Amino acid sequence: MWDALAGAAAAIEASDFGHWARGSAYAYPVANLIHLLGLVLLVGGIGLLDLRLAGLFRTLPAEALSRILTPVAILGIMLLVGSSSVLFAADARSLILSGAFRWKIMLIAVALANAVAFRIFWQGCLADWDSRPPALGRAMAGGSVALWLAAAALGRLIAYA
């Protein structure tokens, strides 16, 4: 699958957008800063919420915390997606062949699937988590923290792999 994407990656990198992302004095550094901001908002927002749902900070109401932090995490994801397009276009061919990049993308897909499944199963009953948090839900929340942190770590390691 990844080899089949190499041609598309080469086309993206060779496009006008790819040339701009790579050649502009500001495009890549600004996209990198926006990417970092998005990561902070995502991991800060969903990370704190997931830690609460996994069992920490039990004095904070889960439903209220979710209402506050979920939009922060969604904004983070939006910034990550937008900035990723610039970062990817600048170096698409080598990224698509990078093991760290491939693992990062797979972990992001699993983390997003976990987030969707969590919302489907538990969103309607978060108020109950203050007294009776379900074990499976707590495991999903803990797994979410681990997945997002691992994806972030792999993103940082791409430059060294």
Question: Position of tokens 């598309």?
Answer: 8
The pLDDT score that the predictor gives to residue 2 is 63
On the question of pLDDT at 95 being above 90, the answer is: yes
In our burial notation (b when 16+ CB lie closer than 10 A, e otherwise), range 52-64 reads bbbeeeeeeebee
37-52 pLDDT per residue, tens: 999 999 999 999 999 9
Q: Which pTM was predicted? A: 0.90
For the chain, the domains span 2-160
On the question of pLDDT at 132 being above 90, the answer is: no
Task: Pull the structure tokens for residue 11.
Answer: 């086309």
Q: For CA atoms 88, 93, 94, 97, give the dihedral sign.
A: positive
Rounded to whole angstroms, how far apart are CA atoms 89 and 11? 9
